Amino acid sequence: MNYKELTPQSMCIHAGASVNESRAVVQPIYQTSAFRFDSTGHGAALFAGRQEGYIYTRMGNPTIRGMEDAVAALEKGKFALGCASGMAAVNTVFAAELSAGDHVVCSQVVYGPTLTLLNTVYKRFGITIDFVNTSDTDQVIGALKPKTRLVYIETPGNPTIELSDIKKIAAAAHEKGAVLAVDNTFLSPWFQNPLTLGADIVLHSLTKFINGHADVIGGIVVVKDDDTYSRYRSVLNQTGGVIDPFNAFLVYRGIKTLGIRMEKHAENGMAIARFLEAHPQIAWVRYPGLKSHPQYDLGQTQHSGPGGVMAFELKGGFEAGETLLNSVKLCTLAVSLGGVETLIQHPASMTHASLEKEQRLAARVTDGLIRLSVGIEFHGDLIADLTQALDRVSGYIGAVPKGKNIL
Ligand code: PLP
């Protein structure tokens, strides 16, 4: 059976299963560092690539391969590379694409360590970078140079949920001979497939929706052709940041429920976004499913659902943010996202606290900004929890940020 022809729902259950040569219904965990050769000739043939097979787990492993094939199929790519974390996936893209003298155009609103990796490590190697507001395609076009090798975007962006136009940015990048890499972590392959919109590379933090159970750190890069795959596989093999078989097994198990989880995240997300939008303590809500999202129309053309992550601004600013987070009981105070449990965080006092206020505001992280990753609990219970916590912040109204929406 060619699982690439299945619908996404059936793909979640069956994709990658051809890697399982045992009779086990579930892909076994090949918890081994190395694989036995039948003879020196066999070993030589494997190393020379004349014969297919496994040699050493850093270079490939059937449990990892099954999970990789499943994500590649869901993303409509050809191959995927399982990495030790989302950041290992980000680094694999940079290390595979960039050489001294190259230029990168990157989203200003991007996961913090991605920005820091470019600004510290890759800058040292002679790479120049322009961080622009990629939700404005003209800014991307304006930043492209003859030496631009890579355009790197995150859409929706972390944590402000801004969208970037994948199709237009891919076309602009290709015209200048650059490649487009998209971090698709927030929507997962269930709701968005950047490769079908012209992107060259897709990556994910598997830690989030794809695994979905907040018990694994992992990442993945998906590519479209054999040459890119061998180049990336060689970089990952040399740098060593591969996922291990047990984590790959857990992610592979998580993928089986990706579709039903994502639909529930989105259903709950819509209910909670509407509740928050109508609440007197909230200045605005940014969620791709709301018509009030400044790029709602763009979203309708490039994703099939809004996902489970939203941002909202409390009218009461910084103190209101702290009080809200100290008052929730069902929502968990934590910085990750994409798990079955609802997580809430206050970037100004947590993930972005180390930045100067000016830097924070440049990344559009305002004082009262809250990021909510909606889980799959009963939405009424979540609304009840947010209602009681918002009742406690009523004293802070007054510091309403200017304008209804900062985008
Ligand atoms: N990309 C995005 C959009 C993220 O939100 C994160 C982590 O939060 C990462 C990449 C990095 O993933 P990991 O924590 O698995 O290294």
The Cα–Cα gap between 91 and 362 comes to: 24
**Is 68 touching ligand 1 by the criterion CB < 6 Å?**
no
Domain that holds residue 388: 258-394
Kindly state whether residue 401 falls inside one of the protein's structural domains: no
- Quick: pLDDT tens for 246-262: 999 999 999 999 999 99
Same domain for 127 and 165, yes or no, is yes
Do 268 and 238 sit in the same domain of this protein? Answer: no
d(CA 87, CA 92): 8
| 340 within a domain of the structure (yes/no) | yes
345 lines ligand 1 (CB under 6 A): no
Domain endpoint, select from 255, 276, 297? 255
| Cβ atoms 321, 346 nearer than 8 A | yes
On whether both 149 and 295 belong to a single domain, the answer is no
Candidates 93, 158, 335: which one to mutate for ligand 1, based on the most atoms within 8 Å of Cβ?
A: 158
Question: How far is ligand 1, taken at its centre, from the CA of residue 217, in Å?
Answer: 9
The domain total for the chain is 2
- Within this chain, do residues 250 and 262 fall inside the same structural domain, yes or no? no
Residues 6+ apart with CB under 8 A from 373: 308, 309, 336, 337, 338, 339, 342, 343, 344
Q: Is the CB of 219 under 6 A from ligand 1?
A: yes
**Mode of pairing for the β-strands spanning 179-183 and 309-314:** unpaired
180 beta partners: 151
Under 8 Å between Cβ of 150 and 120: no
Name the active-site residue from 58, 76, 147, 256. Answer: 58
Tell me how far apart the alpha carbons of residues 210 and 8 are, in angstroms, rounded to a whole number.
Answer: 13
pLDDT at 396: 66
pTM of the model: 0.94
Same domain, 239 and 282: no
pLDDT per residue, tens digit, the chain (407 aa), is 788 889 999 999 999 887 777 889 999 999 999 999 999 999 999 999 999 999 999 999 999 999 999 999 999 999 999 999 999 999 999 999 999 999 999 998 889 899 999 999 999 999 999 999 999 999 999 999 999 999 999 999 988 899 999 999 999 999 999 999 999 999 999 999 999 999 999 999 999 999 999 999 999 999 999 999 999 999 999 999 999 999 999 999 999 999 999 999 999 999 999 999 999 999 999 999 999 999 999 999 999 999 999 999 999 998 999 999 999 999 999 999 999 999 999 988 888 887 788 878 877 889 899 999 999 999 999 999 999 999 998 766 544 444 344 33
Distance 158 CA to ligand 1 centre (A): 9
| 321 CA to centre of ligand 1 in angstroms | 23
Question: What atom in ligand 1 is closest to the CA of residue 218?
Answer: 15
Which residue has a Cα nearest atom 12 of ligand 1?
Answer: 86
Tell me the CA–centroid distance for residue 194 and ligand 1, in Å.
17
Residues 315 and 355 in one domain: yes
Q: Please tell me the distance between residue 205's alpha carbon and the centre of ligand 1 in angstroms.
A: 5
Q: Is there a catalytic annotation at residue 111?
A: yes
114 CA closest ligand 1 atom index = 10
Q: Is the CB of 209 under 6 A from ligand 1?
A: no
Spacing, Cα 202 to ligand 1 middle (Å): 13
399 in a domain, yes or no? no
pLDDT at residue number 400:
43
Cβ–ligand 1 distance for 133 under 6 Å, the answer no
Which CATH number belongs to the domain containing residue 286 in this structure? 3.90.1150.10
The secondary structure element, H or E, covering residue 203 is: strand 201-205
Contact partners, residue 342, CB within 8 Å, separation at least 6: 330, 331, 332, 372, 373, 374, 375, 377, 382
In a domain, 224, yes or no: yes
Q: Please report the atom of ligand 1 found closest to the CA of residue 186.
A: 3
Active site residue 147: no
Q: Whose CA is nearest to atom 8 of ligand 1?
A: 336
Active-site entry in 208, 233, 264, 360: 208
Strand partners of residue 221: 81, 203
Same domain (yes/no): 250, 263: no
Decide whether any atom of ligand 1 lies within 6 Å of the 87 Cβ: yes
- Let me know if 183 is a catalytic residue: yes
Are residues 165 and 70 part of one domain? yes
Write phi, then psi, for 137 (nearest 5 degrees).
-55, -35
Pairwise CA distance, residues 399 & 5, whole Å: 54
Q: List the one residue out of 197, 239, 243, 200 whose CA is nearest residue 219.
A: 243
Please work out whether the CB of residue 217 comes within 6 Å of at least one atom of ligand 1.
Answer: yes
For residues 242 and 268, state if they share a domain. Answer: no
Distance CA 57, CA 243 (A): 9
Pair 211, 332 in one domain: no
**How many angstroms does the Cα of residue 86 sit away from the middle of ligand 1?**
5
In this structure, the answer to whether residues 227 and 278 fall within a common structural domain is no
Please indicate whether residue 86, judged by its CB atom, sits closer than 6 Å to ligand 1: yes
Q: Which three-class secondary structure state does DSSP give residue 359?
A: helix
Residue 40 in any domain: the answer is: yes
Same domain, 274 and 175: no
